[in-house]
């Protein structure tokens, strides 16, 4: 049983021949279990905030029969649980019907275990001790999830702010009309002093406020995880010591609203704002939005046009199961989305493309160098964006196992210029070649201005007001 061989893609990224798409490995595993005619049912329950519970049902080889089956079971379940955690979010995992796997995962998520980072991260997000439990299938809790309507509010004088890892964007919007928009380069991820972040946010917002007769509401699109407008975890504040994070970062955005005179403020993950922007533009539902910038930000609008409250932190979700895939410096895991759908992917592929990037440049500057080479007709630069497009095709098929996708929207700094079209063309080619059942998914690339400041404009409409006047 060579599942790695079965996971070889039909269309291989030219600059990454060892790429092994997660979706192909998972499908090969499922087919092998079915072919064995000995499949055993298993289910995963994940609990998150407000007692919400997500359930995922699957089948495994019977345990204790063959070493190869037990190894495949563990690899499949370890990767699957990690994927579900970063899609849904949660602080409690219960494995039903597979006690050996459940106990092994307990060790993986324990202190010093293989997935300690994930456990600590989820514990911080939900302010609960992360746990893994084992149960009989019949004892698993029932699924309970809810979604909410957010955004689309146009009346009044509004400011939208988009906090990215390389630049911050702001827009002043009055009754749906954009009066001002601006981008400012900053370096939040390498700065330890949270006063730097606060000053930068205030600088952008006060400059936008100058174009409005008053400020009725502020909407924020920001990389990271936010609950009740509070910053729980965010790569923007990666260097801020935990003590200062708790004191000055968790309530930073509410402080911005107070600073401007107790202006109502709504904060959402930039991925969700990406998806909302798509829903407004397309006037449709079931939209997965992927912003490719400093990291990979993902959001989803469901069949009702609502956001789900899922974590959607797919930058940490594995998309490549090859054990030699690049390791993410933050999580310590390999094959994660951040190295495939962000400026990190461009930088990672540059050496194979024959492009030598100055190590003294920031990641954003390195991306700009490659994009300039692409516009000049550099063959290696073109292969970089085509390889990212191949990643995306297989990534979308993987995501479709967790999301019901009608539209895929991509934007962000990596998609600027000709590179965005190359990414989209290759992604479509992969879906048509390997996943004809998904060929009805529509791929979208906003126009250049929306790719850059569209999230700030959409963010302006996040906050609902009873009366703007």
pLDDT tens sequence across 100-155: 999 999 999 999 999 999 999 999 899 899 999 999 999 999 999 988 788 888 89
pLDDT in tens, 301-324: 999 888 888 999 999 999 999 999
- For residues 32 and 25, what is the distance between their CA atoms, to the nearest angstrom? 11
- For residues 283 and 293, what is the distance between their CA atoms, to the nearest angstrom? 25
Dihedral in degrees, nearest 10, Cα atoms 303, 270, 338, 81? -50
Q: Are 272 and 186 in contact (CB under 8 A)?
A: no
Looking at residue 271, its pLDDT comes to 81
Has domain 147-469 been given CATH number 3.90.1150.10? no
- Give the pLDDT band (50/70/90) at residue 300: very high
Average pLDDT over residues 156-162: 95
**pLDDT of 9 above 80:** yes
- For residues 90 and 276, what is the distance between their CA atoms, to the nearest angstrom? 23
- Domain borders along the chain are 38-139, 147-469
Phi first, then psi, for residue 411 (nearest 5°) are: -160, -170
- For residues 405 and 110, what is the distance between their CA atoms, to the nearest angstrom? 34
Residue 131, token pair as written in the block:
């746990």
Beta strands in 258-344 (DSSP E): 265-269, 287-292, 296-301
Residue 130, token pair as written in the block:
């992360």
- Give the pLDDT band (50/70/90) at residue 184: very high
- For residues 461 and 219, what is the distance between their CA atoms, to the nearest angstrom? 7
How many percent of the chain have pLDDT more than 90? 77
pLDDT in tens, 277-292: 888 888 899 999 998 9
Residue 157 parent element (H or E): strand 157-163
**pLDDT of 295 above 90:** no
Looking at residue 31, its pLDDT comes to 95
Looking at residue 309, its pLDDT comes to 84
pLDDT in tens, 141-151: 999 998 878 88
């Amino acid at each position: 049983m060579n599942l790695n061989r079965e996971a070889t893609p039909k269309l291989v990224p030219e600059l990454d021949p060892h790429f092994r798409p997660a979706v192909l490995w998972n499908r090969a595993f499922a087919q092998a279990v079915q072919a064995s005619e000995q499949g055993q049912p298993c289910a995963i329950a994940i609990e998150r905030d407000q007692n919400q519970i997500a359930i995922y049902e699957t089948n495994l080889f019977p345990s204790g029969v063959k070493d190869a089956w037990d190894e495949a079971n563990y690899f499949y379940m370890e990767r699957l649980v990690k994927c579900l955690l970063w899609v849904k979010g949660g602080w409690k995992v219960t494995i039903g019907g597979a006690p050996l796997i459940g106990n092994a995962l307990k060790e993986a998520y324990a202190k010093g275990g293989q997935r300690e980072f994930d456990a600590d991260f989820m514990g911080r997000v939900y302010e609960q001790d992360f746990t893994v439990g084992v149960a009989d299938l019949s004892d698993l809790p029932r699924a309970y999830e809810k979604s909410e309507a957010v955004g689309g509010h146009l009346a009044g004088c509004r400011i939208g702010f988009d906090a990215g890892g390389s630049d911050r964007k702001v827009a002043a919007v009055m009754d749906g009309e954009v009066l001002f928009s601006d981008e400012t380069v900053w370096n939040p991820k390498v700065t330890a002093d949270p006063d730097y972040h606060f000053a930068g946010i205030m600088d952008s917002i006060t400059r936008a406020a100058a174009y409005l007769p008053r400020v009725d509401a502020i909407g924020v699109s920001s990389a990271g995880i936010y609950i009740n407008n509070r910053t729980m975890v965010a790569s923007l504040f990666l260097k801020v010591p935990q003590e200062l994070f708790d004191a000055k970062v968790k309530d930073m955005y509410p402080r911005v609203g107070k600073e401007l005179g107790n202006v109502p403020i709504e904060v959402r993950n930039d991925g969700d704002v990406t998806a909302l922007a798509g829903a407004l533009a397309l006037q449709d539902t079931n939209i997965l939005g992927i912003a490719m910038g400093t990291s990979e930000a993902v959001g989803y609008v469901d069949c009702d046009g609502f956001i789900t409250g899922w974590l959607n932190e797919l930058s940490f979700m594995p998309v490549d199961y090859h054990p030699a895939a690049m390791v993410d410096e933050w999580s310590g895991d390999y094959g994660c989305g951040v190295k495939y759908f962000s400026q990190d992917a461009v930088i990672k592929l540059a050496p194979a493309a024959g492009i030598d990037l100055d190590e003294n440049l920031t990641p954003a500057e390195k991306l700009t160098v490659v994009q300039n080479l692409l516009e000049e007709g550099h063959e290696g630069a073109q292969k970089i964006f085509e390889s990212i497009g191949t990643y995306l095709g297989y990534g979308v098929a993987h995501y479709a196992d967790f999301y019901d996708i009608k539209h895929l929207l991509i934007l962000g700094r990596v998609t600027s210029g000709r590179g965005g079209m190359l990414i989209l063309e290759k992604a479509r080619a992969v879906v048509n070649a390997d996943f004809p059942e998904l060929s009805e998914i529509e791929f979208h690339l906003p126009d250049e201005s929306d790719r850059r400041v569209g999230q700030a404009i959409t963010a302006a409409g996040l906050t609902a007001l009873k009366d703007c006047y």
